[in-house]
Structure formats: C-alpha cells, structure tokens
Amino acid sequence: MTQPGTMPAMTKEMQDCVDACMTCHSVCEETMSSLMQMGGQGQMQVMRALMDCAETTRMCADMMMRRSPMSAEMCAMCAKACEMCAEACMSMPDDPQMTRCAEACRRCATTCRAMAGATM
C-alpha cells in the first residue's frame, strides 16, 4: 500500500521498458548524426523514421516514469515507431550503425508491446 501523494514503485518490467526506450533514443540520435555525415538526399525516409522513433521513445520513457494514465497507449505507439525505424534502418544492412539501431529499436518495440498490454 502506498501513502497518499506517493507513486507506486516501478516494476522491473516498467524499468526494463524505460531503459530500452532510453537506449533506443540514444542510438537513434547517434544514427541520425551518422546519417547526416554520410550526406545524400536519398536517406530522408530513414531520417524521418529515426526522428519519429527518437522523440517517441523519449516521450514514452518520460510518461512511464511519471506513471501517466496514458502510458499504455504511448507504449503501443512507441512500439509501432520502433518497428518502422528498425525496418528503415535495415534498408542499409551493410552499415554497422544502422544494424545497431535496428536491434535497439526491435528490443524497445518488444518491451513496449509488453507494457502496452500491461496494467500500469
């Protein structure tokens, strides 16, 4: 039982999801930087996916940490953004940074899907 005005403790699953979101956010930011250094206009679709994923994962982690009542819905949206980003990154499978980003996105999508179905 929690005292009035206090938040319930974060579950291990919630903490794992927050950690996955923050890792994914960081890797997406690093990947955007890497992609900008490569140059070329042909990668705009990948860049948009990276931007959407980076922002969504950050917001999702924030909402879970403050126990927002909309966390489950945000986790579902985050999982979708991560899946789209992983797919976009795999359009460049020979680039190690893109592969690393796709892996982080897939892990985050898995934890977010689990949280979307959980009662928070």
pLDDT of residue 41: 62
pLDDT of residue 43: 85
pLDDT of residue 8: 72
- Per this entry, what is the length of the chain? 120
Distance CA 43, CA 39 (A): 8
DSSP code of residue 95? -
Instruction: Tell me, yes or no, if the pTM score tops 0.75.
Output: yes
pLDDT of residue 4: 56
Residue type, 33: S
Distance CA 31, CA 97 (A): 6
pLDDT of residue 2: 47
Give me the mean pLDDT over the 72-84 stretch. 97
CA-based angle 106:63:90, to the nearest 5?
A: 20
**Using one digit for the tens of pLDDT, what is the confidence trace for 5-34?**
666 778 999 999 999 999 999 999 999 999
